[in-house]
Amino acid sequence: MFGRKKQMPSPEPRPTTETDRTLTPYTETPTKTQIKRATRTRKIWTLITSFLLLITLVFLVLVEIGNIAIKPVLTSIYFIRLSLADIVPTTVPNAFLINSIAETLGLHDFYQIGLWNFCEGYNSEGVVACSQPRTRYWFNPVAILLNELLAGATIALPADVTKILTLIRIVSHVMFGGFLTGACLSTILIFLAPLSVYSRWAALPIGFFTFVAALCTTGASVIATVMFIIMRNAFTSVADLNIGATLGTKMFVFMWIASGASIIASVIQMALCCCCASRRDVKTGKKRGSRKAWQGEAASASEKRNGRGMFTNGRSAA
C-alpha cells in the first residue's frame, strides 16, 4: 500500500542426492596398487631383515666349516692355534734334543681348534692331519697329549685340572649348540621375514624367533671369545713350558659379524610388530601407511567434487 513490496516466502530447499554426496567424505576401498604403495616402507624393512639374516647365515656357515678339512681356506679359520715347536724352553739343558725327541714321538709343531675338530701340522709342511669331525666337540689338550706321546697310558690329573676340563666341555657344548641353532633359525627366517608385511600379528612370532636366533648366535660368540682368551692366557702363562697361543682372527671376525647382523635383524623385526602399517592395517582402515599412496585418490576426489559443484551451479543458474 505504501510502496513496499510484499516479500514472498522462499521455497524450502529440497535435498538432492548431489548435495548429500558433497557433504559425505569421499571414501573407497583401497586398490591393490594403493595397498602396496602404502606398505612399501614396511616391505623394504622386511627385505632388509632378510638380507641381514642372509649375512648372518653366510658367516655362521664359515664358522661351522672352519678347520673341518685340509684345505687352504678352511684351515685358516680356527679359534686358537697352539704352537709346541719349542715346547721345552732353551734355558733347559739339552732343550733342542728334547724337542726333537718329542717331535719324533708324534708331537706336532702346532694344533689348531675348530668347532667340530682339531687339526695338527708342522711349520715346514702346514696342516698334515685333522681329527674326525663330531658333534659337540670340545678341545681336550690332555687327551691329545696322551694320544700323541703316551698311547695307552693314563695320567692321574689333579682335581683342579679335572674341574677345568669339565667346565670347558660344558661350555663348548653350549657354544656348539648356539652356533648351530642360530644358523638353522636364520635359514628359516630368511624366507619367513617378508611375511611380516601382511600383518603385525605375523611379525610377532617371526620377531620372537629372530630374537632367539640373535640370542643364540651372540651368546655363542661371547662364550667362544671369553673361553679362548682365557685358554690363550692360561697356556702362555706356564713358565716351565714354551707354548705359544694365538687366536684365529678370521674366526672371531666372522662370528661377530654374524652376531651383529643377527642383532640388527632382531631389532628391526621386533619394531615391525608396532611400527609401519601392514597390508591388513590398510585394508581395515586402522592405518593409512605412506601418504604418497593416497595423493592420487585425494586429487580424484577433489576433481569429482568440483565437477559435481559446477554441474549444480550451472543447473541453478539455468
pLDDT tens column, 41-80? 888 999 999 999 999 999 999 999 999 989 888 999 999 9
Q: Which amino acid appears at position 26 of this protein? A: Y
pLDDT tens digits, one per residue of 78-93: 999 988 776 655 555 5
What letters, b where the CB count within 10 A reaches 16 and e where it falls short, cover 202-220? Answer: bbeebbebbbebbbbbbbb
* pLDDT for position 19: 38
**pTM exceeding 0.85:** no
CB 147 within 8 A of CB 223: no
Is the pLDDT at 18 greater than 50? The verdict is no
Average pLDDT over residues 5-23: 47
CB 244 within 8 A of CB 82: yes
* pLDDT for position 233: 87
Cell numbers representing residue 293 in the block: 599412496
Query: What structural domains does the chain harbor?
Result: 41-280 (1.20.140.150)
pLDDT tens digits, one per residue of 97-150: 555 655 555 677 888 999 999 998 888 888 988 989 998 888 887 777 777 665
Of the candidates 23, 53, 45, the residue with the CA atom closest to the CA atom of residue 289: 45
Of the candidates 79, 257, 81, the residue with the CA atom closest to the CA atom of residue 172: 79
The torsion region of residue 8 among left (phi > 0), alpha (psi -120 to 50) and beta comes to beta
pLDDT tens digits, one per residue of 228-279: 998 888 888 766 667 788 999 999 999 999 999 999 999 999 988 887 777 6
Is the pLDDT at 183 greater than 80? The verdict is yes
Is the pLDDT at 12 greater than 60? The verdict is no
Burial of 303 (0-12, 13-18, 19+ CB in 10 A): exposed
